[in-house]
Amino acid sequence: MTIRTDQTAKNQDLMGFQDSAFQVKSSCAISMLTAKIKIADAELSLKLGRSVLIQANGRVKSTESICAKCQKKGFLPTYENALERINDIIGVRAVCSFEDDVYRMARVLSSHRDLKILKKKDYIKTPKSSGYRSLHLIVEIPVYFQGEMEWVRAEIQLRTPAMDFWAGVDHQLRYKKGRKEAFLIGEELKQYSQVVAELDLKMMELRKRIDAI
């Protein structure tokens, strides 16, 4: 007789995310969203005379990350619960050259008729308490698979290189330390977030001066 540990049981409750059909649909959604971002960049490039996109990539959350988020939000970690209540199981991140390019990209994506914008979270104008800054779009995109169409939900994160660098450092330092160390690191990183915001503004002003020459 095999006795399941709590963690094993939770992982098995989320096994739907390991299903090949879910993986295929997720991969298709990421490819389609990445393509849309590149199309938006091409459109903006014609208008501005420069590219606004530096890079775009996507990922699907691991079962462990999904389980942890379910617990953080206070509901049972099941496939159905997670699929209904977690918006960023599928995620695409686009890094744009300047802060105003982030909003340009968001406007173009919002104009696409086959992309439903369910919610916008502007952590640039209103950063998280940690200092995190980024523009999030919760979207749905139609995916055709095995003769059926399904609206697949995903999160698009739009940010500048400085925001992306800060977020990467925050993740690496905060989650590899104990609770006390994480708090001290978090306080210092929050201060650096303001430095990053000021850098973004200065770079945008520099670009505008160059454009005016």
Name the more confident of 169 and 1: 169
Check residue 4 and give its pLDDT. 41
Note the pTM of the prediction, 2 decimals. Answer: 0.89
Name the more confident of 156 and 177: 156
**63: exposed, middle or buried (C-beta count within 10 Å: 0-12, 13-18, 19+)?**
buried
* Domain locations along the chain: 6-161
Q: Does domain 6-161 have CATH number 3.30.460.10?
A: yes
Check residue 187 and give its pLDDT. 83
Reported as a single tens digit per residue, the pLDDT across 99-154 is 999 999 999 999 999 999 999 999 999 999 999 999 999 999 999 999 999 999 99
Residues 6+ apart with CB under 8 A from 19: none
User: Within the chain, where are the H helices?
Assistant: 6-13, 20-48, 63-73, 79-85, 99-110, 161-174, 179-212
Evaluate if residue 29 carries a pLDDT over 60.
yes
Task: Tell me the CA distances in angstroms from 78 to 4, 6, 22, 51, 155, one per residue in order.
Answer: 16, 13, 15, 42, 20
Segment 141-170 mean pLDDT: 95
Lowest mean pLDDT across 114-118, 198-202, 208-212: 208-212
Measured over the CA atoms of residue 165, residue 133, residue 54 and residue 200, the dihedral's sign is negative
